[in-house]
Structure 1
Amino acid sequence: MTSASFPYKAVIFDLDGTLLNAEHKLGDLTIKTLKQCTNLGVDIFIATGRNYPDVYKMVKKLAIDDVVLVTSNGARADFFNGKKVLQHYIEPHIAKALFQTPFDATKLYLNSYQGDDWYINQPVPQWQQYFAESGYSYKLADFTTQHTQEVEKIFFITKEVENPIGLAPIEAYVHQHFADVVQITHSMPNCFEIMAKGVNKGKTLSELTTMRGYTLSECIAFGDGMNDIEMLQSVGKGCVMANAEQKVKDTLSSLEVIGNHKQEAVAQYLQNLLAKTND
């Protein structure tokens, strides 16, 4: 049962650039804070563009069995204990067509999240730093013959992190050929992501909180990316990270901007709420 003095039924977090610290890990203060929230009966939702197995391994140290993991930008939701709650896959014939999207493989990587697997068209050893906490890794795939089962997300990433302009032809192509049947977003400026139509973090979280008997208006959420916008607009209290790209801040100009993820700003913000709860 939620503490009468804690103002929210649930706390909702993005991971990269929000809950994770500078080392792409859950910091000690963050772990302590999430456990304190759980002890008060507050629900925990982690909502990310990452895939389920990656997130599961990353948050295992929390040891909170009923935390809900919303992954692939809302295409899938699971309890930490392994129970799958919902999934929204791209239809196989649409995924097959998307896999044939023309692109310059010297400038872009093509990826897909399918079930528990991550597929990519080329190896990228330098990415392993982002998955050191979970140990999760990709499988090489030939997308001309790749299967189309359980496709949660298809995404293109530029090889030049600081030059996302290379995504423009891909975005134009997808808009032209698939706008009526897919949902698109960016988790980072250099990452263009495609899900089934209508799939986003906000919509999936709305489904999940309804299952719990309350609404997103009774929740607080934290995020930094374009793929967090629907989520942050839907909750009772949305907080934008100081390190968020300017486009996010401009879109959500009415929301409070808090500190930087590198200093565990989310945990510090919640500690202030918890202190008021204990007064």
Structure 2
Amino acid sequence: MTERSIIFFDIDGTLLNHEKKLPPSTKEAIFKLKELGHEVAIATGRAPFMYQELRKELAIDTFVSYNGQYVVVNGEVLYTNPLKTSSLEKLTEFALHNEHPVVYMDHEDMKANVPEHHYINESIGTLKINQIPTHDPHYYKERALYQSLLFCRVGEEKQYEQQFDDFDFIRWHPFSVDILPKGGSKAKGIEAIVEKLGFSKKNQYAFGDGLNDIEMLSSVTNSVAMGNGEEEVKRAAKYVTKSVEDDGILHGLQMVGLL
């Protein structure tokens, strides 16, 4: 048997195909990794409540949520990095002036600062989670929030980037941008997990396809970009596998010698 390793998988466009389905070859590969004694984890921009069923299906209880801001190991919260409330309040005021909706997200739920907006419905609808945020404009005042969503057209986020130094902005949909604590990333969340579990750099692997995976793929020693990923993402990775639609996870695991 090869040495025990830890493998982090992004969800959308990596574990799940573009129909938000888990390819049979991917599921089989995940359980084969477990049989071989490897640790399997998820690293996603999604909220924990957005992929409970997937974690259950794959028997995974170690994960990085919100692009690194909410990290769980073996079912226990290990690390959190919430947004700065005062800065989020100022951003909300600016967004309202621009008629750009904002959604606030903690580890259990998400709430919008407007009753309804087609940008929210269309972008979150692509995740196929059967959940749209309900209205609560004061949700950010009462709890720790680990990510927010700003809804605006491509390019309009530039004015926010210039004004709000406490946040990073990462676009994931033509109508939506992730708002993260400055410097927060999947790589930071992974760092906390591997330190806790004691995996050496050579026994760390990561698979991803999106712009929010770039720092993860750049920092994890054995990084694999999906064939369906953007060119910038592929350049950040050590390896490039086939598309998620073409058994990309299985092929990539075979390519790096884990299967």
Query: Into which bin does the TM-score normalised by the smaller protein fall?
Result: 0.7 to 0.9
Counterparts of residues 216-231 of structure 1 (less than 5 Å): 216-231=201-216
TM-score (norm 2): 0.85
**CA gap 1:167/1:128 in 2 versus in 1, 3 angstroms:** closer
Matched, 1:131 2:153: no
Matched, 1:169 2:166: no
* Deviations 1:125-177, CA, capped at 9 Å, x for gaps: 55446335xx5x1332253x34332211112244xxxxxxx2423332x2222
Give 1:57 deviation, angstroms.
2.1
2:14 pairs with one of 9, 12, 18: 18
**Distance across 2 between alignment mates of 1:125 and 1:53:** 18
Tell whether the 8 Å contact from 1:221 to 1:239 is kept in structure 2 after alignment.
yes
* Deviations 1:159-215, CA, capped at 9 Å, x for gaps: xxxxxxx2423332x222222x22332345653211122210001101110111124
Give the letter aligned to residue 30 of structure 2. L
Q: What residue is the counterpart of 2:58 in the other structure?
A: 62
Secondary structure at 1:242 match in 2: coil
Q: What residue is the counterpart of 1:153 in the other structure?
A: 147
Q: What residue is the counterpart of 2:179 in the other structure?
A: 194
* Deviations 1:90-111, CA, capped at 9 Å, x for gaps: 1221222222233654xx5532
Matched, 1:113 2:99: no
Give 1:273 deviation, angstroms.
5.3
* Deviations 1:209-234, CA, capped at 9 Å, x for gaps: 01111244421111111110111011
Give 1:113 deviation, angstroms.
1.4
Q: What residue is the counterpart of 1:256 in the other structure?
A: 239
Q: What residue is the counterpart of 1:207 in the other structure?
A: 192
Q: How many residues are treated as equivalent by the alignment?
A: 252
Give 1:272 deviation, angstroms.
5.3
* Deviations 1:251-278, CA, capped at 9 Å, x for gaps: x2x632211112231123224556x76x
Q: What residue is the counterpart of 1:242 in the other structure?
A: 227
Give the letter aligned to residue 270 of structure 1. L
Tell whether the 8 Å contact from 1:49 to 1:187 is kept in structure 2 after alignment.
no
Q: What residue is the counterpart of 2:5 in the other structure?
A: 9
TM-score (norm 1): 0.79
Matched, 1:37 2:24: no
* Deviations 1:45-88, CA, capped at 9 Å, x for gaps: 20011100112222211234xx3121111110124x64222211
Tell whether the 8 Å contact from 2:40 to 2:62 is kept in structure 1 after alignment.
yes
Q: What residue is the counterpart of 1:161 in the other structure?
A: none
**Distance across 1 between alignment mates of 2:9 and 2:242:** 14
**Distance across 2 between alignment mates of 1:84 and 1:92:** 21
Give 1:28 deviation, angstroms.
2.0
**Distance across 2 between alignment mates of 1:189 and 1:218:** 36
Give the letter aligned to residue 100 of structure 1. E
**Distance across 1 between alignment mates of 2:121 and 2:95:** 24
Secondary structure at 2:157 match in 1: helix
**Distance across 2 between alignment mates of 1:24 and 1:36:** 22
Tell whether the 8 Å contact from 1:206 to 1:215 is kept in structure 2 after alignment.
no
